[in-house]
A = this chain, B = another copy of it.
Amino acid sequence: MQTLQVDLGERSYPILIGEQLIDGDFLSRHIRGKQVAIVTNETVAPLYLERLTRHLQSFSVTPIVLPDGEAYKNWQTLQLIFDGLLAARHDRRTTVVALGGGVVGDMAGYAAASYQRGVDFIQVPTTLLSQVDSSVGGKTGINHPLGKNMIGAFYQPQAVLIDTATLTTLPARELSAGLAEVIKYGLICDEPFLGWLEANMERLLALDPQALTEAIHRSCAAKAAVVAADERESGIRATLNLGHTFGHAIETHQGYGAWLHGEAVSAGTVMALEMSQQLGWIQQADRDRGVRLLQRAGLPVVPPAGMSAEDFLQHMAVDKKVINGQLRLVLLKALGEAVVTSDFSRDVLESTLNADYNALTPSPNA
């Protein structure tokens, strides 16, 4: 088992990474009260709920099982958590445990932040995406019909437990979606990691435990460092959103759940690479290296066929990165060096939105 620390003063917490962490007392050691609510979904519950609960016999445990999917990341589903907590009379010393992917973690975290104005919270992420990204750093929330993640809180967990063995039950499409965020860390701040990923992509896709642990550890370490430097995203933390402004526009336009978050981020990252290249900040070969790696991870590298430049602009206007009406984007000054910037012309943005992504995508056999 490997342990990382997210360093946030009195809100610091550990990330535990290893196989079979769901079994044993790894979870119970971080629970301070006597009541526990395990928030999970219909897909994950049959796989892991009973195993996790088996080690909590000295606690009063309330399972809260939500419907599965990004389409349910809304207030109506959040209410099910509050209903469950109140019906079982959980007090303010309860602990909310998120068992599942990013949607479960975001909703359970926001529920923990809001229930009685804040109770303890522990993340047990079971998808690669949530293990390397959403479970670390304290961003929680739900979607609004007019925008993704518009309602939420910065709320740090007591601990994050990453059991790499849970990835054996993850659909291949979701494994790929998680790899989009893994590749992101290489692109924004760890160029050598890109080389490691190029050398180990097949091992990752084959769920080699050592390769997974290495990739997750390196991703979480990158995220923990960025979050420690800028918890509330006033500066450098925004670089974690490489590809996300374009990606959120894709998700909103297609309807939540049609594209997986990681898939939308992948296509959005290709657009950010293209724009960085058009601005002359990275070489065409750099762009193609990123696109090729996303493609090898099984990810889409072309935005939706029916989505116009106008569609993108409309959805991007309500993005959280819009400051005083000015659009800010995460772009690359080099591979491994991201910046948050509004230092680009409207022309370059529109040229990026109108680019022929099918043409720039290298053939899978290239």
Determine whether A139 belongs to the interface, using a CB cutoff of 8 Å to chain B: yes
Chain B: minimal CB distance from A80 (Å): 12
Which among B113, B140, B146, B323 is the interface contact of A92 at CB below 8 angstroms? Answer: B323
Additional pairs, 20, CB under 8 Å, beyond known A91-B325, A93-B324: A33-B324, A75-B75, A86-B144, A86-B146, A86-B147, A87-B146, A89-B318, A89-B322, A91-B320, A91-B322, A92-B320, A114-B114, A114-B141, A114-B152, A116-B150, A116-B152, A117-B141, A117-B153, A117-B232, A118-B154
| Closest beta carbon of chain B to A82's beta carbon, Å | 6
Copies of this chain assembled into the complex:
2
Closest to A90 in B: B318
Cβ of A206 under 8 Å from chain B: no
Q: Which residues of A from 145 to 181 have beta carbons under 8 Å from B?
A: 146-147, 149-154
Of residues 203 through 256 on chain A, the ones whose CB sits less than 8 Å from some CB of chain B are 232
Q: In this assembly, does A34 line the interface, its C-beta being within 8 Å of a C-beta of chain B?
A: yes
Residues of B within 8 A of A152 (CB): 114, 116-117
Binding site for B on A (CB under 8 A): 33-34, 75, 79, 82-83, 86-87, 89, 91-93, 113-118, 139-141, 144, 146-147, 149-154, 232, 317-318, 320, 322-325
A313 to chain B, nearest CB (A): 13
Q: Which residue of B lies closest to A147 (CB)?
A: B86
Minimum Cβ distance to chain B for residue A9 (Å): 12
The CA-CA distance from A149 to B83 in the complex, in Å, is 14
Residues of B contacting A79 in the complex (Cβ-Cβ under 8 angstroms): 75
- Distance (whole angstroms) from the CB of A152 to the closest CB of chain B: 5
Per the bound structure, the CA–CA distance linking A139 and B117 in Å amounts to: 8
Residues of B with C-beta under 8 A to A146: 83, 86-87
Shortest distance between the CB of A327 and any CB in chain B (Å):
11
- Cα A320 to Cα B89 with chains together (Å): 10
Listed by A's residue number, 12 A-B pairs whose Cβ atoms lie within 8 Å are A75-B75, A82-B151, A86-B144, A86-B147, A89-B318, A89-B322, A91-B320, A93-B324, A114-B152, A116-B150, A116-B320, A117-B232
Q: Which residues of B contact A83 (CB under 8 A)?
A: 146
Contact A150 B93 (CB under 8 A): no
A153 and B114 contact, CB distance less than 8 A: yes
CB neighbours (8 Å) of A154 from chain B are 117-118
**Are B232 and A151 in touch, CB under 8 angstroms?**
no
Are B75 and A150 in contact, with the CB atoms below 8 A? no
Q: Which B residues are CB-close (under 8 A) to A153?
A: 113-114, 117-118, 153
A156 CA to B86 CA, complexed, in Å: 26
Q: Is B116 within 8 A of A86, CB to CB?
A: no
- Find the B residue at minimum CB distance from A35: B324
User: How far apart are the CA atoms of A82 and B114 in the complex, in Å?
Assistant: 16
Q: How far is the CB of A24 from chain B (nearest CB, A)?
A: 25
- Report the separation of the CA atoms of residues A325 and B79 in the bound assembly, to the nearest whole angstrom: 23
